[in-house]
Protein backbone atom coordinates (compact mmCIF):
# COMPACT_ATOMS: atom_id res chain seq x y z
CA UNK A 1 0.00 0.00 0.00
CA UNK A 2 1.43 3.33 -1.04
CA UNK A 3 1.02 6.11 1.48
CA UNK A 4 1.53 9.86 1.14
CA UNK A 5 2.36 12.22 3.99
CA UNK A 6 1.84 15.85 3.01
CA UNK A 7 4.02 18.64 4.37
CA UNK A 8 2.78 22.23 4.49
CA UNK A 9 3.73 25.65 5.84
CA UNK A 10 0.24 26.90 6.57
CA UNK A 11 -0.54 30.57 6.99
CA UNK A 12 -3.39 32.73 8.23
CA UNK A 13 -5.72 32.36 5.21
CA UNK A 14 -7.79 29.20 5.63
CA UNK A 15 -9.06 29.27 2.04
CA UNK A 16 -5.52 29.51 0.65
CA UNK A 17 -4.34 26.71 2.93
CA UNK A 18 -7.22 24.49 1.81
CA UNK A 19 -6.48 25.19 -1.85
CA UNK A 20 -2.85 24.18 -1.41
CA UNK A 21 -3.86 21.07 0.53
CA UNK A 22 -6.18 20.00 -2.29
CA UNK A 23 -3.39 20.48 -4.84
CA UNK A 24 -1.02 18.32 -2.79
CA UNK A 25 -3.71 15.67 -2.28
CA UNK A 26 -4.17 15.51 -6.05
CA UNK A 27 -0.42 15.08 -6.52
CA UNK A 28 -0.38 12.25 -4.00
CA UNK A 29 -3.30 10.49 -5.67
CA UNK A 30 -1.69 10.84 -9.09
CA UNK A 31 1.42 9.17 -7.65
CA UNK A 32 -0.69 6.16 -6.67
CA UNK A 33 -1.22 6.76 -2.95
CA UNK A 34 -4.07 4.85 -1.33
CA UNK A 35 -3.82 6.66 2.00
CA UNK A 36 -3.05 10.38 2.15
CA UNK A 37 -2.46 12.35 5.35
CA UNK A 38 -2.39 16.11 5.94
CA UNK A 39 -0.44 17.76 8.78
CA UNK A 40 -1.77 19.12 12.04
CA UNK A 41 -3.35 22.57 11.68
CA UNK A 42 -3.18 22.27 7.88
CA UNK A 43 -6.06 24.72 7.59
CA UNK A 44 -4.64 27.52 9.75
CA UNK A 45 -1.63 28.59 11.74
CA UNK A 46 -2.69 32.03 12.86
CA UNK A 47 -1.19 34.89 14.76
CA UNK A 48 -3.06 33.99 17.95
CA UNK A 49 -4.30 30.76 19.53
CA UNK A 50 -7.90 31.92 19.30
CA UNK A 51 -7.80 32.44 15.53
CA UNK A 52 -8.86 28.84 14.98
CA UNK A 53 -12.14 29.50 16.79
CA UNK A 54 -13.30 31.64 13.86
CA UNK A 55 -13.11 28.74 11.40
CA UNK A 56 -14.51 26.00 13.63
CA UNK A 57 -17.07 23.63 12.16
CA UNK A 58 -19.70 21.36 13.68
CA UNK A 59 -18.96 17.71 13.09
CA UNK A 60 -20.21 16.53 9.72
CA UNK A 61 -20.48 19.74 7.74
CA UNK A 62 -18.53 22.86 6.80
CA UNK A 63 -16.27 24.14 4.00
CA UNK A 64 -13.23 22.21 5.23
CA UNK A 65 -14.99 18.92 5.85
CA UNK A 66 -17.00 19.13 2.64
CA UNK A 67 -13.90 19.83 0.54
CA UNK A 68 -11.90 16.95 2.03
CA UNK A 69 -14.80 14.53 1.67
CA UNK A 70 -15.14 15.53 -1.99
CA UNK A 71 -11.38 15.12 -2.55
CA UNK A 72 -11.39 11.60 -1.09
CA UNK A 73 -14.27 10.62 -3.38
CA UNK A 74 -12.85 12.35 -6.45
CA UNK A 75 -9.49 10.63 -6.16
CA UNK A 76 -10.74 7.33 -4.71
CA UNK A 77 -8.40 7.51 -1.70
CA UNK A 78 -8.44 7.20 2.07
CA UNK A 79 -7.86 10.70 3.37
CA UNK A 80 -6.84 11.69 6.90
CA UNK A 81 -7.51 15.40 7.22
CA UNK A 82 -4.62 16.42 9.46
CA UNK A 83 -6.50 18.28 12.16
CA UNK A 84 -9.50 20.56 11.95
CA UNK A 85 -11.12 22.79 14.61
CA UNK A 86 -14.34 20.95 15.45
CA UNK A 87 -16.84 22.63 17.76
CA UNK A 88 -16.58 21.56 21.42
CA UNK A 89 -18.76 21.89 24.51
CA UNK A 90 -18.05 25.61 25.00
CA UNK A 91 -17.81 28.39 22.39
CA UNK A 92 -14.33 29.45 23.47
CA UNK A 93 -12.78 26.00 22.87
CA UNK A 94 -12.59 23.55 19.98
CA UNK A 95 -11.41 20.00 19.54
CA UNK A 96 -8.23 19.48 17.51
CA UNK A 97 -9.68 16.69 15.42
CA UNK A 98 -8.46 14.20 12.84
CA UNK A 99 -11.23 13.00 10.54
CA UNK A 100 -10.80 10.17 8.05
CA UNK A 101 -12.79 9.72 4.84
CA UNK A 102 -12.93 6.54 2.76
CA UNK A 103 -12.72 6.40 -1.06
CA UNK A 104 -16.48 6.98 -1.26
CA UNK A 105 -16.09 10.25 0.63
CA UNK A 106 -17.73 8.95 3.81
CA UNK A 107 -16.32 9.89 7.20
CA UNK A 108 -15.24 6.65 8.89
CA UNK A 109 -13.17 7.76 11.88
CA UNK A 110 -12.78 10.66 14.29
CA UNK A 111 -10.00 11.30 16.77
CA UNK A 112 -9.86 14.31 19.11
CA UNK A 113 -6.30 15.03 20.27
CA UNK A 114 -5.97 13.75 23.82
CA UNK A 115 -2.63 15.15 24.98
CA UNK A 116 -2.48 18.94 24.67
CA UNK A 117 0.92 20.52 24.10
CA UNK A 118 2.44 22.93 26.62
CA UNK A 119 5.98 24.30 26.50
CA UNK A 120 7.75 27.30 28.01
CA UNK A 121 11.51 27.75 27.82
CA UNK A 122 11.46 31.46 28.62
CA UNK A 123 11.56 32.44 24.94
CA UNK A 124 8.69 30.40 23.51
CA UNK A 125 5.40 29.75 25.24
CA UNK A 126 2.68 27.38 24.09
CA UNK A 127 -0.39 26.07 25.89
CA UNK A 128 -3.00 24.42 23.68
CA UNK A 129 -5.46 24.12 26.56
CA UNK A 130 -6.17 27.85 26.21
CA UNK A 131 -8.44 27.13 23.25
CA UNK A 132 -8.48 23.34 22.83
CA UNK A 133 -10.65 20.83 24.63
CA UNK A 134 -8.88 17.52 25.17
CA UNK A 135 -10.26 14.37 23.64
CA UNK A 136 -10.83 11.25 25.67
CA UNK A 137 -11.11 8.34 23.23
CA UNK A 138 -8.17 6.48 21.63
CA UNK A 139 -9.09 5.66 18.05
CA UNK A 140 -8.16 3.00 15.53
CA UNK A 141 -9.88 2.21 12.25
CA UNK A 142 -9.61 -0.61 9.72
CA UNK A 143 -8.41 0.12 6.21
CA UNK A 144 -8.85 -2.63 3.60
CA UNK A 145 -6.09 -1.97 1.05
CA UNK A 146 -6.36 -2.73 -2.64
CA UNK A 147 -4.17 -5.83 -2.29
CA UNK A 148 -6.67 -7.46 0.06
CA UNK A 149 -5.09 -6.84 3.46
CA UNK A 150 -6.84 -5.03 6.29
CA UNK A 151 -4.67 -2.57 8.21
CA UNK A 152 -5.33 -1.40 11.76
CA UNK A 153 -4.56 2.31 11.58
CA UNK A 154 -4.05 4.19 14.86
CA UNK A 155 -4.82 7.90 14.95
CA UNK A 156 -2.76 10.30 17.03
CA UNK A 157 -1.62 13.92 16.84
CA UNK A 158 1.79 15.47 17.50
CA UNK A 159 2.27 15.66 21.31
CA UNK A 160 0.55 12.27 21.66
CA UNK A 161 3.75 10.63 20.49
CA UNK A 162 5.31 11.31 23.91
CA UNK A 163 2.81 8.88 25.47
CA UNK A 164 3.70 5.37 24.25
CA UNK A 165 0.94 3.66 26.22
CA UNK A 166 -1.61 5.19 23.83
CA UNK A 167 -0.26 3.18 20.90
CA UNK A 168 0.21 -0.05 22.87
CA UNK A 169 -3.48 0.07 23.67
CA UNK A 170 -4.43 0.35 20.00
CA UNK A 171 -2.21 -2.48 18.64
CA UNK A 172 -1.73 -0.81 15.23
CA UNK A 173 -0.20 -1.98 11.97
CA UNK A 174 0.19 1.65 10.89
CA UNK A 175 0.40 4.77 13.06
CA UNK A 176 -0.60 8.21 11.82
CA UNK A 177 0.89 11.22 13.62
CA UNK A 178 0.09 14.54 11.90
CA UNK A 179 2.14 17.22 13.62
CA UNK A 180 3.21 20.82 13.93
CA UNK A 181 6.33 20.34 16.06
CA UNK A 182 8.15 23.46 17.11
CA UNK A 183 11.64 23.88 15.67
CA UNK A 184 13.11 23.82 19.19
CA UNK A 185 11.55 20.54 20.30
CA UNK A 186 11.70 19.01 16.84
CA UNK A 187 15.44 19.19 16.42
CA UNK A 188 15.87 17.45 19.78
CA UNK A 189 13.10 14.87 19.85
CA UNK A 190 11.15 14.47 16.58
CA UNK A 191 12.78 11.57 14.80
CA UNK A 192 13.81 9.62 17.90
CA UNK A 193 10.25 9.69 19.26
CA UNK A 194 8.70 8.58 15.98
CA UNK A 195 11.19 5.80 15.38
CA UNK A 196 10.65 4.56 18.94
CA UNK A 197 6.88 4.39 18.45
CA UNK A 198 7.32 2.42 15.22
CA UNK A 199 9.87 0.03 16.74
CA UNK A 200 8.04 -0.77 19.95
CA UNK A 201 4.76 -1.43 18.10
CA UNK A 202 6.43 -3.16 15.13
CA UNK A 203 4.29 -0.97 12.92
CA UNK A 204 4.65 1.46 10.03
CA UNK A 205 4.38 5.12 10.92
CA UNK A 206 3.61 8.19 8.83
CA UNK A 207 3.99 11.70 10.20
CA UNK A 208 2.78 14.55 7.96
CA UNK A 209 4.19 17.76 9.39
CA UNK A 210 4.24 21.52 9.22
CA UNK A 211 7.71 22.49 8.09
CA UNK A 212 9.12 25.98 7.75
CA UNK A 213 8.74 29.63 8.69
CA UNK A 214 5.09 30.65 8.88
CA UNK A 215 3.69 34.13 8.19
CA UNK A 216 2.84 34.37 11.90
CA UNK A 217 6.57 34.17 12.68
CA UNK A 218 6.34 30.65 14.11
CA UNK A 219 8.87 28.13 12.80
CA UNK A 220 7.99 24.46 12.68
CA UNK A 221 10.45 21.59 12.41
CA UNK A 222 9.11 19.75 9.37
CA UNK A 223 10.93 16.52 8.54
CA UNK A 224 7.75 14.79 7.36
CA UNK A 225 8.61 11.11 7.21
CA UNK A 226 7.54 7.50 6.89
CA UNK A 227 9.11 4.73 8.99
CA UNK A 228 8.95 0.95 8.69
CA UNK A 229 8.33 -1.53 11.56
CA UNK A 230 12.08 -1.98 12.13
CA UNK A 231 12.55 1.77 12.62
CA UNK A 232 14.02 2.43 9.18
CA UNK A 233 13.20 5.86 7.75
CA UNK A 234 11.78 5.14 4.30
CA UNK A 235 11.27 8.71 3.09
CA UNK A 236 11.67 12.19 4.49
CA UNK A 237 11.46 15.86 3.53
CA UNK A 238 13.16 18.57 5.56
CA UNK A 239 11.08 21.72 5.01
CA UNK A 240 8.68 23.39 2.55
CA UNK A 241 5.43 22.03 1.10
CA UNK A 242 5.53 18.66 -0.61
CA UNK A 243 4.42 15.04 -0.77
CA UNK A 244 6.42 12.29 0.92
CA UNK A 245 5.67 8.85 -0.56
CA UNK A 246 6.42 5.41 0.82
CA UNK A 247 5.30 1.81 0.34
CA UNK A 248 3.89 -0.20 3.25
CA UNK A 249 4.39 -3.92 2.78
CA UNK A 250 2.05 -6.18 4.77
CA UNK A 251 4.57 -9.02 4.53
CA UNK A 252 7.17 -6.80 6.15
CA UNK A 253 4.92 -6.29 9.17
CA UNK A 254 4.42 -10.05 9.52
CA UNK A 255 8.12 -10.79 9.02
CA UNK A 256 9.27 -8.39 11.72
CA UNK A 257 6.68 -9.64 14.19
CA UNK A 258 7.74 -13.23 13.63
CA UNK A 259 11.42 -12.40 14.03
CA UNK A 260 10.87 -10.29 17.16
CA UNK A 261 7.66 -11.45 18.87
CA UNK A 262 7.61 -8.60 21.40
CA UNK A 263 3.88 -8.02 20.96
CA UNK A 264 3.09 -11.47 22.37
CA UNK A 265 4.37 -10.39 25.77
CA UNK A 266 2.03 -7.48 26.47
CA UNK A 267 1.40 -6.89 30.15
CA UNK A 268 -1.24 -4.19 29.71
Could you give the residue numbers annotated as active site? 40, 113, 158
| Cβ-based neighbours of 167, under 8 Å, separated by 6 or more | 154, 156, 175, 197, 200, 201, 203
CB count within 10 Å of CB 113 equals 24
Three-state DSSP state, 249: coil
Nearest residue to 246 via CA among 255, 237, 258:
237
Distance between CA atoms of residues 204 and 164, nearest Å: 15
Assign residue 135 a region: left if phi > 0, alpha if psi is -120 to 50, beta otherwise? Answer: beta
Amino acid sequence: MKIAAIQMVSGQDAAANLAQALELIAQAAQAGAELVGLPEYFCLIGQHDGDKLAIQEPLGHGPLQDALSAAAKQHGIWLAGGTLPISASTPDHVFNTTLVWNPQGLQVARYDKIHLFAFDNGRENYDESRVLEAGRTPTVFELPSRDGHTWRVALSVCYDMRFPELYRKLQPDLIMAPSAFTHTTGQAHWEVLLRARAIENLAYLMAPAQGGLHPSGRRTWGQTLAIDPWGVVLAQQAESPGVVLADCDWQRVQQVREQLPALRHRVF
